[in-house]
Structure 1
Amino acid sequence: MNEITTHPFSAPFTELASQATTTVRVRNLELLADIGINPDEVGRRQPLVLSVELELVAETIGAIDETVDYRRIVAAAEELALVHIPLIESFGQRLAARCLAWNAVREARVSIDKPFALTRGMAGVAITMTRPGALTPATNQERRA
């Protein structure tokens, strides 16, 4: 009477991993950036609050070269903050493009809030950039079928 039942979560990791998507995130990163187009903004650093999500290419992560070090994302954002970029849209696109250039990244999502752009509320942008020809996990599954 020792009947063994299978639980849906008892499958080996490798079987479940073929359906996995891994996202590396940095959230609420506060930076002072040389940004703006208005005369009162040019030449002074302004606060930005960034969040970055990077969807990785590998379905399973077993080595550091299959992922992205969080500090690398922060360094890329800090480097861009030193250069005058007129629009937060451009800042976000440049940051997403830098992240997408890393081999491990399939898609980059960057959101930027500019706390003092409005007297009430918060102005911001969101950018999503996908590697050309990148397959989504659903597309990968369809190809295997």
Structure 2
Amino acid sequence: MQQITPGLARIRIKNLRLRTYIGINEEEILNRQDVVINATILYPANQAVEVNQIDQALNYRTITKAFIQHVETNRFALLERLTQELLDIVMAHAQVRYAEVEVDKPHALRFADSVSITLSASRD
């Protein structure tokens, strides 16, 4: 994980629970399944802190709504693909310096709580 540096804010979206079509087996293709999304986003917040105005901040609500819309209206064969597409949504915001997205698929394995994929990206 990226170290936080002065002036960078860390936004965490924790345990966003959504349902989507994910997988390659017939049952997975025909039935929605739960996914749990966690994201960490770093962006320079100096201006937002100084002026205390939403238009100077990275709007996590906008990102979360984009996640919801994307997950609920698409189908995914692989957890890796879903995770990358969510990471792309975050990185589309020019303010973002670093992002990490983890997607869990609960009960994907018989004796495990979940299986997850984590991907990250950074911008200099």
TM-score by length of 1: 0.71
The answer to whether the Cα contact below 8 Å between 2:109 and 2:115 also exists between their aligned partners in 1 is yes
4+ residue runs over 3 A deviation: none
* Cα displacement (A) at 1:23: 1.1
The answer to whether the Cα contact below 8 Å between 2:63 and 2:89 also exists between their aligned partners in 1 is no
Match of 1:79 among 69, 72, 86: 69
Cα RMSD for the two superposed structures? 1.7
- Bigger Cα Rg: 1
Cα deviations by residue, 1:53-97 (Å, 9 ceiling, x for unpaired): 1111x2514243443222212212112212011111111101111
Cα deviations by residue, 1:34-66 (Å, 9 ceiling, x for unpaired): 21112220022110011011111x251424344
Aligned to 1:88: 79
Match of 1:110 among 92, 101, 113: 101
Greater share of strand? 2
Q: Relative contact order: is structure 1 or structure 2 higher (C-alpha 8 Å, sep ≥ 6)? A: 2
Aligned to 1:130: 122
TM-score by length of 2: 0.82
Paired residues, what number?
114
Partner Cα separation in structure 2 for residue 119 and residue 71 of structure 1:
34
Mark the runs of 5 or more structure 2 residues left unpaired by the alignment: none
Partner Cα separation in structure 1 for residue 15 and residue 65 of structure 2:
14
